[in-house]
A and B are shown apart, each in its own frame.
Chain A
Amino acid sequence: MRVVVDLNRCQAYAQCCYAAPERFVLRGDEMLVYDPAPPEAERAAIDRAVLACPVRAIRVEPAAAEGTA
């Protein structure tokens, strides 16, 4: 999968860190570190993170779409 977070929008609410703790981590006060290429097996957790984000900052492209380009 491919993930990108709009860090202009991100307000460090950390909801993604609860939804997918293996792939989203908050360091310090508000610095989000995330895996831009998480394994497809974690799709459900990543989707939960997308939905949990209060500012809609996370965008995901599932692996199924990656093959075409």
Chain B
Amino acid sequence: MRDGTIVVAGASLAGLRGAEALRAGGFSGRLVLVGDEPHLPYDRPPLSKHVLTGEIAPERTTLPGVGTLAAEWRLGTPAVGLDRAGRVLLLAGGERLPFDRLLIATGARARPWPEPAAAALAGVHTLRSRDDAAALAAALAARPERVLILGAGFLGCEAASSIRALGLPVTVVDPAPSPLAGALGQVIGGFVAGRMEGAGIDLRTGTEVTRLEGEDGRVRRARLADGGTIPADLVVVALGAVRNTDWLAGSGLDADEGGLSCDRACRALDEAGRPDDAIFAAGDVARFPHPLDGDRPVALEHWGNAVAQAAHAARAMLAGPEAAGPYAEVPAFWSNQFGLTIKSLGLTEGADAVAIVQGDPRSARFLAAYGREGRTVAAVSINAGRWLPAYEGAIREGAPFPPITGGADQPRPKPVPPGLPAPQPA
């Protein structure tokens, strides 16, 4: 396909990089990007880091590529519906955008605090968009007495690190036994917990906040499941993300808050599991069968996945699913927190063993490999990013675990259970 109309629903990283890949692949027709936010595509990773510390102004995060892309923009106008039979995208405000191909890259939004009245209290924030980060940075500049962060996943931990760096008292609460337990397990999470406490974070794991209470419309304290109370005048809700698929209700596509199902060629699937040859998905919203995990459907909230999957979808749109082949990028992400650079390759979910295979946690520089049923499935580096690429082949091939033995500093890796949550039944 070289001409006609391609509409991209979603104007963040995946939408932008998908649109660029379409142009680079020779598409010369009409290209329209639709975004719910009024902003041009911007980079999200700095939002929980140097935007919160005030080092980078939120509006400086616009991504390179937006200026040179030959496309029409519909910003501040969310997609509200899809007429699949008529091949028309419906926008807020009533515009109907006909398309020959549609790329759905509507991403995800922050999961709000479940009680709406408490979520609406002044001082209760989520952190997903540039505007969220600007609002939170402004609230931090007013020097709150204590910041409470709900959730010790990557976002909660990064926010805790940034806010603590401002010299503010920070409490982090998570029901899991350690931070990052869902993504990295309790063994590596326990190492990070030590760093957090060393930085002066009041870390409360194994308990959860049951209620947020306010006075005069402003949050004042949180009640814990174990009966305790935490006074806090600023709360960051970091409880994960919900995929933006509500607008697809009634379209006949297989979509829910966990994502929009698609096949290996990024084609969206209908409720009967049949691919729609005109509709593709990429980025956080796309739930796709991952070859590294027995084709279990996964939806990845990774910067690198947004870039690579959008490019793959663009190839499949232009050249067809067979020519594009199956999407099989090894998942990768990074995080910066508490003086650590954490980088990950592969999928830790369902791993039954972890072993330090290079370096030593005592020096805060090491590499942990994850195994599942005797196969290597993931590797995580802590301040040792240059060691990580050597493990990509082992992960891609499912090489025997532990993957590399006889290293000078870890001659006999000792696998232990990683402390990950029990696998979800398929």
Q: Which of A27, A36, A59 contacts B61 (CB 8 A)?
A: A36
In the assembled complex, B248 has its CB within 8 A of some CB on chain A: no
Q: Which of B56, B62, B386 contacts A2 (CB 8 A)?
A: B62
- Determine the residue in chain A with the shortest Cβ distance to B42: A36
Q: Which of B293-352 contact A (CB under 8 A)?
A: 303-304, 307, 332-334, 336, 339-341, 343
- Is A12's CB under 8 angstroms from B386's CB? yes
In the assembled complex, B64 has its CB within 8 A of some CB on chain A: yes
In the assembled complex, B200 has its CB within 8 A of some CB on chain A: no
Say whether, besides A12-B385, A31-B341, A36-B46, A69 and B67 are in contact (CB < 8 Å).
yes
With most chain A CB atoms within 10 A of its CB, the pick from B40, B50, B64 is B64
Which of chain A's residues have a CB closer than 8 A to the CB of B73?
Answer: 69
Say whether, besides A6-B304, A35-B56, A36-B43, A29 and B365 are in contact (CB < 8 Å).
yes
Query: What is the 8 Å Cβ interface bit string for chain A, positions 4-33, against chain B (1 contact, 0 not)?
Result: 101110111000000000000001111101
A4 and B335 alpha carbons, distance in the complex (Å):
16
In the assembled complex, B60 has its CB within 8 A of some CB on chain A: yes
A28 and B338 alpha carbons, distance in the complex (Å):
10
A34 and B46 alpha carbons, distance in the complex (Å):
10
Query: What is the 8 Å Cβ interface bit string for chain B, positions 66-104, against chain A (1 contact, 0 not)?
Result: 111101010000000000000000000000000000000
Q: Which of B40, B307, B339, B343 contacts A28 (CB 8 A)?
A: B339
Q: Which of B333, B365, B386 contacts A8 (CB 8 A)?
A: B333
In the assembled complex, B169 has its CB within 8 A of some CB on chain A: no
A3 and B386 alpha carbons, distance in the complex (Å):
23
Q: Which of B43, B56, B336 contacts A31 (CB 8 A)?
A: B336
Q: Which of B29-46 contact A (CB under 8 A)?
A: 40, 43, 45-46
CB distance from A21 to the nearest CB of B (A): 16
Chain A contact residues, majority secondary structure = loop
In the assembled complex, A37 has its CB within 8 A of some CB on chain B: yes
Say whether, besides A4-B43, A28-B341, A60 and B67 are in contact (CB < 8 Å).
no
CB distance from B263 to the nearest CB of A (A): 25
Which of chain A's residues have a CB closer than 8 A to the CB of B50?
Answer: 33
CB distance from A67 to the nearest CB of B (A): 7
Q: Which of A35, A61, A66 contacts B60 (CB 8 A)?
A: A35
CB distance from A38 to the nearest CB of B (A): 9
CB distance from A44 to the nearest CB of B (A): 17
Which of chain A's residues have a CB closer than 8 A to the CB of B40?
Answer: 69
Which of chain B's residues have a CB closer than 8 A to the CB of A36?
Answer: 43, 46, 56, 60-62
Which of chain B's residues have a CB closer than 8 A to the CB of A29?
Answer: 341, 365, 383
A3 and B336 alpha carbons, distance in the complex (Å):
19
CB distance from A63 to the nearest CB of B (A): 9
In the assembled complex, B63 has its CB within 8 A of some CB on chain A: yes
- Is B67's CB under 8 angstroms from A28's CB? no
CB distance from A29 to the nearest CB of B (A): 4
In the assembled complex, A41 has its CB within 8 A of some CB on chain B: no
- Is A61's CB under 8 angstroms from B334's CB? no
Q: Which of A4, A11, A12 contacts B63 (CB 8 A)?
A: A4
Say whether, besides A11-B385, A12-B386, A29-B383, A69 and B66 are in contact (CB < 8 Å).
yes
CB distance from A9 to the nearest CB of B (A): 9
- Is B341's CB under 8 angstroms from A30's CB? yes
Say whether, besides A30-B341, A33-B50, A36-B43, A3 and B385 are in contact (CB < 8 Å).
no
A39 and B336 alpha carbons, distance in the complex (Å):
26
- Determine the residue in chain A with the shortest Cβ distance to B57: A37
Say whether, besides A3-B64, A28-B339, A36-B56, A8 and B43 are in contact (CB < 8 Å).
no
Q: Which of B64, B67, B334 contacts A7 (CB 8 A)?
A: B334
CB distance from A34 to the nearest CB of B (A): 9
Query: What is the 8 Å Cβ interface bit string for chain A, positions 40-69, against chain B (1 contact, 0 not)?
Result: 000000000000000000011100011111
CB distance from B48 to the nearest CB of A (A): 13
Q: Which of A6, A7, A8, A28 contacts B383 (CB 8 A)?
A: A28
- Is B343's CB under 8 angstroms from A8's CB? yes
Taking Cβ atoms with an 8 Å cutoff, the residues of A that contact B are 2-4, 6-8, 10-12, 27-31, 33, 35-37, 59-61, 65-69
4 closest A-B pairs (Cβ-Cβ)?
A61-B64, A65-B67, A37-B60, A2-B64
Q: Pull 14 A–B residue pairs with CB atoms less than 8 Å apart, ordered by A.
A: A2-B62, A6-B304, A7-B45, A8-B304, A12-B341, A27-B339, A28-B383, A30-B341, A30-B383, A31-B339, A36-B56, A36-B62, A61-B66, A61-B67
Q: A4-B64, A8-B334 are in contact. List 6 more A-B contacts (CB 8 A).
A: A6-B307, A12-B386, A28-B340, A61-B67, A65-B67, A66-B67
